[in-house]
Structure 1
């Protein structure tokens, strides 16, 4: 269930992404990396008990990691590629011996849920264990109701921070469709949600002064070129940075946001595609240097196209390839991703104005991934994952290691640069924040200078909250931590502990 992590199984540490990854210690009270970055130790909190009253210990941590290392299907965060072994140093200290140096391994390790050894050691089939009677260390471990309409998850009677928990239960109702969600949230049924609402002011916020939302910047959406395109003439054009820049300067990014994303987003400012949430990592001089290539300038775009021989050679109004063959491109997006589909349609219309013919094509998501994985496309639109630092974006998007077919779609433009790969291997072993920032700045500069992809816009994190019954919400004016309710935001544990019923409705669940 979506309330398993954090709410049932408390993490060792939460790294607060809105506070420069400040460690918020939970089951652990401290961690220490070895000087050679080949090991890391965690000091565990004393006095914590599982919800059945039994004490939490280092044995639980070791057991949890041992099953993830033994059963790869349970290793959802790739811990096996880093951890060689786990051992108990003393009653309250666990040590991880690493296979290779990694200064940031703590960010990954703390994502694995810590489960009770005394319950799970008798499990015979971990991959199919449903854990119908959960035992956890988190604030809400008791499943009081569970039926076709949803479920009710209530307080852990022995939670170690019970004095800071002011909510008795979390009720998760079943929502069948987006229309169902919008209908019910507009009636004030929900307190804390995170879903897309088109024209959110009209369809939500205008209904009540208690209906609030905050849309912090999230990952970027970019246009990808296939550097391994089957047609050698098209491949040659794609490999020219002038062509990629011309495409970029033909696009009106705010219009893409206004129409395709219903105004919920921000135009990309970084030619590398780095998210706007990592502004402090960017060199402002590099940002300004390449910002013109993200700015609408169709006249300069046409000059760039002319300079590389992509011209209308027969007077029919369409630009041709340098060898005189027609230039006709396709752009692929996943079927049903309405914002991507609309973005592709708008891009095809915008490129008409500079004489480039582009046909949008929609494919089922599996087929979309397959075509990217086998370089069977020309142009495509994708979003990218984010992490606690910009490293995850640059690594997943531009590390040539991830251009094998079994990896996700993010690096399937097939652009390769040995210097980029080298910098990506250096980041995890950099010893200081200054060194890591310099590596990110170099990556940002290289990718921006080559305009490897065309960043379109930054999406937003969807977060809505109702102030009529509860207070303490994280928001733009109270940005304590990420406000999201979904499991991808471990900070939601901090959020729920900050909430309290308003006095006039103190008996509200």
Structure 2
């Protein structure tokens, strides 16, 4: 489009100007996704839809929100919950006087209908809730009861965090998997698509939002920045109010520019960044090869060069700092995440991947051992991480070609298992259960070519899964911690994926126009807008400054 070609340079010119341009009062500029052009998709149910932020936590809402920064659940569309029948029934009490953005009442029927969609369309049930529930019923307009097929204590988080869609709209959708939902009807604070073009879109307030006087922000605006560098320029120059960007030398380039208003908070709660080997492709199906690749990586150098020292090297538990109380210190010491090139070479020799006179290792068929490593183009930290990893693996005699893709293409290839090596994040939750389930459980493995919510490396282990199943029934903290320590030992033995570092929860704020952002001293949520559903907590707390 002509408009797209003209507007992008205009946006970048604005971002590079010495003074922030005037804007309508109360409009919050947010930088979350790096995209060259926006695609109008607000489908909150299908994990592979690449829905625009904040579809899942800002347009739509869930029943309760877990704040990892506070370590507690916050009531949202539900005000309370209760277990019954020896943990076989879970009831949620729904908030009264909640309306959809079109004015229709929100009721228990909407919750029942939403979970019915997940049952009818398996592609929507990315959390696998119908593997542990057998029924969901409305007990009046404000009570929903879930019947469990077995005791499954982690199931609470899956149900509480499931976004709810309106029955009166979605019952008329022919295919909810492919539906792009261009005009969302939702309960969240921002539901009105007031502007949508290739290079900019804007969301206005829900006229019927259930929190009195909220949101105080009048609208959210998103500019298309193809790369981290362009997004960071807009942030540094004051165009962006809230961001989740990797910013090199952030204290010098951003905070010091306006210390009274520019703030950042990067706790190591942002899942874990892994080097994922596609274990369906030999020789990556051999644990000795995976551990050799891991020992070839100099993580100390990696976090300095690629991450500017904002994080630390991962250990053999792969757990980030949100799970400090769960970590088994003995497993953390396991050697396969330590830099040891000699041992890495020894393991590859043992496997039979012999290094020739030319220094190149060869596969059993005589072909060079060569791998493609895929990262997102424009994500400068991950691109640098990929460069470091490629060089380190090259020292083993493995030829690694770094390939960069636009986010949507990269994510599709990752989810469908159409890669050899890829750098990506992991899933998290209130306990490490979800983290390890999506790394180890056979229940999360889908065939190559089908979209996977995680377990992109496609490895399942029955022994680990048996421990996870026991954890699902465990009620006491002592039993839960003992089982999770055993899961960590199994993870370390198998090395299904190669942990690189805990990912910082990237969060930057500019309080010149808005106040109420979370901080280390006021950690009501993570500052990172990527941290869903924490973003709901933030969007409803921000207040424009009086001028």
**TM above 0.5, one fold?**
yes
Distance 1:271 1:427, change over 3 A: same
**In terms of mean alpha carbon deviation, does 329-338 or 191-200 score higher?**
329-338
Equivalent in the alignment of 1:258:
304
Correspondence for 1:334 among 374, 385, 389: 374
What residue number does 1:173 align with? 222
User: Which residues in structure 2 correspond to 1:361-380 (within 5 Å)?
Assistant: 361-363=401-403
Match of 1:8 among 59, 78, 83: 59
Indicate if the aligned counterparts of 1:329 and 1:358 stay in contact, CA closer than 8 A.
Answer: yes
Q: Aligned to 2:532, what secondary structure does the other structure show?
A: coil
Q: Which residue of 1 aligns with 2:234?
A: 184
Total equivalences in the alignment: 486
Corresponding position of 1:204: 254
1:219 corresponding residue in structure 2: 271
Structure number with greater Rg is 1
2:30 aligns to what?
A: none
SS at match of 1:461: coil
- The residue aligned with 1:272 is 317
Whether 2:71 is the aligned partner of 1:26: answer no
- Contact residue 334 and residue 341 of structure 1 kept, 8 A: no
Q: Is the 8 A contact 1:188 1:466 kept in 2?
A: yes
Render the CA deviation track for 1:483-509: whole Å, top value 9, x for unaligned.
2324x511212112222233xxx15xx
TM-score by length of 2: 0.75
Range with greater deviation from structure 2 (92-101 or 409-418): 409-418
Give a deviation string over 1:187-239, Cα, whole Å, max 9, x none.
211211222334434443343222222222223233456766646xx97xx54
Q: Distance in 2 between matches of 1:317 and 1:432?
A: 58
Q: Where does residue 155 of structure 2 map in the other structure?
A: 105
In structure 2, distance between residues paired with 1:61 and 1:228:
38
Q: CA RMSD in A?
A: 4.0
Indicate the residue corresponding to 2:501 in structure 1: 457
Distance change >3 Å, CA 87–CA 183, structure 1 → 2:
same
1:404 to 435, 447, 471: 447
Q: Check the 8 A contact 1:83/1:96 in 2, yes or no.
A: yes
Label 1:74 to 1:452 Cα distance change in 2 as closer, same or farther (>3 A).
closer
Q: Which residue of 2 aligns with 1:92?
A: 142
1:382-436 CA-to-partner distances (Å, cap 9, x unmatched) read 5433333222221111223416323649656676643212112223333334333
Answer yes or no: is 1:386 the counterpart of 2:428.
Answer: yes
Gaps of at least 5 residues in structure 1 are: none
Query: Cα gap change, 1:185/1:257 in structure 2, threshold over 3 Å: closer, same or farther?
Result: same
Secondary structure in structure 2 of the residue aligned to 1:154:
strand
Query: How has the CA–CA distance of structure 1 residues 44 and 364 changed in structure 2, closer, same or farther, with 3 Å as cutoff?
Result: same
Residues 344, 360 of structure 1: 8 Å contact kept? no
The match for 1:418 among 450, 462, 474 is: 462
> 2 CA distance for matches of 1:263 and 1:349?
19
Corresponding residue for residue 501 of structure 1 = 544
Contact 1:333/1:368, CA 8 A, preserved across alignment: no
Structure 1 pair 92–343 and aligned structure 2 pair: CA distance change class (3 A):
closer
Moved more, 190-199 or 51-60: 51-60
